Amino acid sequence: MIADGAPGRARRPWWPLLFVAVATAIMLPELLWGLSASDSYRYNLLWTDEFTSQFAAGNPWPRWLSQSWDGLGAPTFYHYPPLFFWVAALIRTPLFHLVGAQAAASLASLLILAASGGAMYLWLRRFGSPIAALVGALAYEAAPYHLYDIFARGSLAEASAYAALPLVPMAIDRIADRRRGGVALLAGGYALLVLGHMPSALLASISLIPAYFLYRVRPLGAAVALRGAGGILLGLALSAAYLWPAIELLPFTLSEAFGGAWFDPLNWAFWTPQRWPSAGRAMLNILFASTALIATIAAFFGRRSDADRGALRFWALLAIALFLLIAGFPPMLWQISQMTMVQFPARLMPDADFVAITALVIARPPLARPLTIAALLLAIMGWLVMAQTMIGRTYGVRSIAARSQALVLDDRRDAPTFLPAAVPMPIAPDERFGANPSLVRLPERGWLVRGQGARISVSQDGERIDATVETPSATTLVARRYAYPIWRVRDERGSIIVPTAQPVTGLVTWPTPAGRHHYRLEPGPAPGERASLLVSFLALMLLGLTLWQPRRTSLRKVLPFTARTSS
């Protein structure tokens, strides 16, 4: 019997267990006292509950949340990325009667936290000793902004960007070094980033990713550059099943709900404190961004080897560029329509943390240097603030947690940003927090038939609804479902009727002639949904081809007599 560590037996890696242990310690407040009372508590609870419920019932990608808005429905996951909620669904499905939505969300955060540490460790171990890589990965896993995303803002999808981000530069390195699997890793990593959080993917695509791609690939010629570009395009194709419908359906949503001072990127610019929607939040953004910048500069000036000068110069310049972007510079960039939908420039913090920790692991600067001490003190300050936030947002509200959950699950008021365009705005878009879900007027339960003497009977099987109408004159039928381009109506002859949105309520409506008629209302694919699924499927097949390489066997080994003989 061979003992661990003896020749002849590979030692099993132990570091994944460490990342899981640290993630468990971080998520302990939620595991003990419930889901954090974050800015997005309502949506984290609602979305996790229905997404995982539909997943457990056999729907692998729940896009229409039928229970939202008191049963009116919402197209939430036609627009919101699904990666985090897939993880939560995979946790909750086998334990559905034992694990609630809150616990599933917390456990999903735990797993994704651990995955972020593991991905960062795989990236960092090529730059230094295993211990340095491990410390850097743990710092990345527990970065203050990372915890801020989970416990204060409640942007669990954005927090998942920390796990996907290291895969992209790791893949670029493999392509630059002409190692096998680089294109596949780049495609998969970029697709995970998009499916994890689209704003984070967009921001990384205009900063970290192109900068590192040019730094590593540009000197190696056009062929290597084309492989890298092909990996990005393949990643976009893999995520087309999400991206295509999300873009095509954007005009059908209540885009005005994105308004409000809180969601204007320029209102968070560091140099305009008079416009800050929240001075406390803005000061935290400055603290987090300054910590990453000073840490990277400390690495540059504290390097131990001149051989690292070029790499550290690149990371330092990138850190300065990221700090300026987070600070709101240049202002014209944040006025572009696509960038305004990012809402918060601080969403570049995963990139800034990645850059800072990479530079520190490369340089391993002495702790006695003033810049290193300054960066460490700022990081400690950030961790202390987040420790207070983590306890306050869980233990501090435990007495009202059950009541809050009951209120949220009562009428299931979803995010106003995903309301159909025909629904009236809850409040004026220039208010501080934009649209308010509590002010949306919900219609009474039941169907409506516009016309005297009309009668209706309705039966429902899942989302398929059958309605029989008897009316002495032509009338209009109004179904208690929010109108969206997924609904299909067929009459008793099988003819398709195109429903419209009722102007006042935004509900599904269609004309009904006099007489007795039967209608079936059911959801179908959204515009671009089937085509986008086909594109993603073909991209997945192509990804498999890039990984599959037939094993080449020499003819001389198979047929020894074919060896060349001397003449």
Encode pLDDT of 420-471 as tens digits.
888 887 776 666 777 888 888 888 877 766 667 788 888 888 888 899 999 8
pLDDT of residue 451: 63
Lowest average pLDDT, out of 55-59, 213-217, 289-293, 546-550, goes to: 546-550
Q: Which residues contact 415 (CB under 8 A, 6 or more apart)?
A: 43, 74, 76, 257, 437
**Does the structure show a pLDDT above 80 at 136?**
yes
Task: Output the six-digit token pair for 131.
Answer: 């211990």
The helix/strand/coil state of 457 is strand
Interatomic CA distance for residues 351 and 345, integer angstroms: 12
pLDDT of residue 157: 96
* Assigned token pair, 237: 């194709």
Q: Is 43 helix (H, G, I), strand (E, B) or coil?
A: helix
- Percent of the chain at pLDDT exceeding 70: 93
Give 551's DSSP letter.
P
Helices (H), 438-508: none
Tell me which of 469 and 561 has the higher pLDDT.
469
pLDDT single digits (tens) 374-415:
999 999 999 999 999 999 999 999 888 888 899 899 889 999
The pLDDT tens digits for 14-39 are: 888 999 999 999 999 999 999 999 99
pLDDT digits (tens, 9 = 90+) for 306-337: 778 999 999 999 999 999 999 999 999 999 98
- Mean pLDDT, the chain, whole residue set: 90
Q: pLDDT for 92-106, tens place per residue? A: 999 887 899 999 999
User: How far from chain centre, in Å, is Cα 44?
Assistant: 12
Higher pLDDT, 222 or 210: 210
- The pLDDT score that the predictor gives to residue 238 is 97
| Across 511-526, average pLDDT | 93
pLDDT tops 50 at residue 219:
yes
Residue ranges of domains in the chain, CATH in brackets: 12-164+398-431 (no CATH), 183-253+528-567 (no CATH), 254-393 (no CATH), 448-523 (2.60.40)
Kindly state the average pLDDT of the residues 267-274.
96
Residues in the chain: 567
Average pLDDT over residues 275-284: 96
Residue 278 above 90 pLDDT? Answer: yes
Count of other CB atoms within 10 angstroms of residue 316: 20
